[in-house]
Amino acid sequence: MVRSFNVRTPGQGLHEITELVSALVRESDIDEGLCTVFIRHTSASLTIQENADPSARRDLEMWLNRLVPEGDRDFTHTAEGPDDMPSHIKSILTNVSLSIPVIEGTLALGTWQGIYIWEHRTRPHTRQIVVHVG
Amino acid sequence: MVRSFNVRTPGQGLHEITELVSALVRESDIDEGLCTVFIRHTSASLTIQENADPSARRDLEMWLNRLVPEGDRDFTHTAEGPDDMPSHIKSILTNVSLSIPVIEGTLALGTWQGIYIWEHRTRPHTRQIVVHVG
Amino acid sequence: MVRSFNVRTPGQGLHEITELVSALVRESDIDEGLCTVFIRHTSASLTIQENADPSARRDLEMWLNRLVPEGDRDFTHTAEGPDDMPSHIKSILTNVSLSIPVIEGTLALGTWQGIYIWEHRTRPHTRQIVVHVG
């Protein structure tokens, strides 16, 4: 089964989509298998991270912004603004696809794992996610 | 087929699990397909790297520790100790899932590729791995 | 279906393989499913990135070379030359496998997404790619 959905991100940051993906796994009615999440963009990405304490996500965001700051004088791809090239770099350092086994009809995520869209652009964007369950 | 196993890591470093995954591929009796390895944690991750010369793995470890040092004054998520936030960051830079084709009943790894759990916490941990072969 | 092909890279840089992978998806005759691309090396990797403006790829290359420069005095794994250890590090920061859903017989890539081999070694290499479509 392949399904797509759109998420409107409020701007830069980690936005949880675990429940949206879990709902598609339930809809698939597959008991044991594999769920793959794919993002159709190069300036936003996917990651699985700690879903409990929000301070972990804030620190991830801070650290990645420090590693890939805007205003780098060596960037030449700047037509779309100062957040454009950092967004591409952050995307290649994280994930465009994630595969999670399904056990007893449920994503085999660990207790502290949540699935997140990582929006790297400053402004809100509509992001397309494609999910395969098989 | 979905199977889980636990690995007790001796602390920070790359710990090979190629043979454990290969055994599950043999058990599945699948001749041609796809094997996906998933780790149920956010402070340890997966990677495929050089399995020959241990100096490559030591240098990987050194480099990543230098990129994400403990004691960063900007970290706020520090309740679990100085290795907590660096572990989350190292996890998002590496992999939570890996997918490897299966050919003639065997993982299609290159000659120099091994599958590793990368333990990012200082102390030993029990890590849960889920493997899907289909 | 599992198929392999070789790509001769002209040296360091991003080399597009979208059309080679798409051709295998068409050959598989699968209408809805999942395509997984795997690279059998630890000094070259895979990434999905912007396929329009080449300046984005040049900036990615520049940034990663700056993050992981040759000649790092802390490297001990140097027998194969100054580009050896940086190649392994760049590989673990990017991808060894990528999974892309297939919809209506076509890779569900976004408008601006292309699939690339990222050659990290300075000299040309023959790289083996394995593709699973199921």
Residue C76: CB atoms within 10 Å: 14
The pLDDT assigned to B57 comes to 96
Amino acid present at A127: R
List chain A residues with CB under 8 Å of C110: 39-42, 128
Identify the burial level of B20 via C-beta atoms within 10 angstroms of its C-beta, where 0-12 means exposed, 13-18 middle and 19 or more buried: middle
Strand-by-strand arrangement of the A125-133 sheet = A2-9, A125-133, A33-39, A97-103, A106-107
**Percent of chain C's residues with pLDDT above 70:** 100
Condensed to tens digits (0 to 9), the pLDDT of residues A107-131 reads 999 999 999 999 999 999 999 999 9
- Superfamily name with CATH number, domain C2-133: YjbQ-like (2.60.120.460)
Segments making up each domain of chain C, as ranges = 2-133
Fold of the CATH domain B13-120: Jelly Rolls (2.60.120)
- Tell me the pLDDT of chain B (134 aa) as tens digits: 999 999 999 999 999 999 999 999 999 999 999 999 999 999 999 999 999 999 999 999 999 999 999 999 999 999 899 999 999 999 999 999 999 999 999 999 999 999 999 999 999 999 999 999 99
Q: How many helices (H) and strands (E) does chain C have?
A: 3, 8
- Can you tell me the distance from the alpha carbon of A98 to that of A38, in angstroms, rounded to the nearest whole number? 7
For testing contact with chain A, the best of C37, C38, C99 (most A CBs within 10 A): C99
Contacts of C25 (CB under 8 A, 6+ apart): C35, C102, C105, C106, C107, C133
**Percent of chain A's residues with pLDDT above 90:** 99
Q: Which residues of chain C have pLDDT under 50?
A: none
Q: Residue A20 — very low, low, confident or very high, per pLDDT cuts 50/70/90?
A: very high
How close, in Å, is residue B48 to chain C by CA atoms?
7
A73 touches chain C (CB under 8 A): no
**A39, A89, A99 member nearest C63 (Cβ):** A89
- Say how far residue A48 (Cα) sits from the centre of its chain: 8
Q: Residue A134 — very low, low, confident or very high, per pLDDT cuts 50/70/90?
A: very high
Model confidence, pTM: 0.98
Nearest to C84 by CA among A125, A91, C76: C76
What is the token pair recorded at A107?
């994503």
The pLDDT assigned to C4 comes to 98
What is the token pair recorded at A42?
């190069």
The overall average pLDDT reported for chain C is 97
ipTM of the shown complex: 0.97
End-to-end CA distance of chain C, in Å?
6
